Each structure stands twice: as C-alpha cells, then as structure tokens.
C-alpha cells in the first residue's frame, strides 16, 4: 500500500509540474496572440480566419501520438483558440475606440 501511495503522490507531483508548464505556455501564447491582434488592428484585418484555424487544428491532430484522441485534441485547441479570439477582439475593440477618440 505504501508503494502505491508513493507512486500516486509522485505522479501527482509530476502532473502539478506539468500543469505549471502548461499555464506558462498558455500565457506565452496569449501574449503572442495580443501581438497579432495589434498587427491586425493596424492593418484592419479580421480576428477570425477560418482557414488558419482549420489548418492549425488539422496540423496539431496529425502530430498527436496519443493517448488523447482526435476529439479531445480538437476540443482542447478549440477552447484555446476561442480564448485567443476573445483576447484579440478585446484588443481590436479597445484600439478602435482609441482611434475614434483620436479623430474627435
């Protein structure tokens, strides 16, 4: 029983470390998404580019070696991209308001 508990605790500790790494990577990705939003704002480009999203998801799925299946990967990355689009929309909205105020 003690060996099982030790192994369980070690696995949980490793998951905690990975969760922190995932969090760091998600925030790094979000910062890049904000940079992209600023570029889009300056060039009057749309937030959502369906082809880009579709290609990205397909590329990620093709690289998946499991154990997560295609549906799980699709769901995870769909959520990540939805949050990125929200961030970008907020940036574009704010930039548009600032631009309007500058013109007045």
Express each pLDDT in 1-33 by its tens digit: 789 999 999 999 999 999 999 999 999 999 999
Instruction: Give, rounded to a whole angstrom, the gap between the first and last alpha carbons of the chain.
Output: 72
Peptide bond into 13 cis (omega under 30): no
Helix (H, G, I), strand (E, B) or coil at 90: helix
Domains located in the chain, CATH noted: 2-103 (1.20.59.10)
The whole-number pLDDT of residue 93 equals: 84
The whole-number pLDDT of residue 61 equals: 97
**CB neighbourhood size of 45 (10 A):** 12
pLDDT (tens digit, 9 = 90+) per residue, 39-95?
988 898 888 889 999 999 999 999 999 999 999 999 999 999 999 999 999 988 876
pLDDT (tens digit, 9 = 90+) per residue, 28-55?
999 999 999 999 888 988 888 899 999 9
CB within 8 A of 74, min separation 6: which ones? 57, 61
- Cα gap 92→83, rounded to integer Å: 14
The whole-number pLDDT of residue 44 equals: 86
Q: What does DSSP assign to residue 43?
A: T
Give the angle subtended at the CA of 55 by the CAs of 19 and 24, to the nearest 5°: 20
């Amino acid at each position: 029983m003690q060996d099982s508990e030790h192994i369980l605790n070690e696995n949980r500790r490793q998951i905690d470390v990975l969760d922190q790494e995932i969090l760091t990577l998600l925030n790094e990705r979000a910062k890049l998404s904000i940079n992209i939003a600023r570029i889009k704002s300056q060039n009057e480009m749309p937030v959502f580019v369906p082809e880009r999203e579709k290609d990205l998801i397909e590329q990620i799925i093709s690289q998946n070696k499991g154990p997560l299946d295609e549906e799980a990967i699709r769901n995870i990355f769909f959520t990540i991209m939805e949050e990125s689009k929200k961030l970008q929309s907020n940036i574009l909205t704010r930039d548009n308001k600032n631009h309007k105020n500058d013109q007045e």
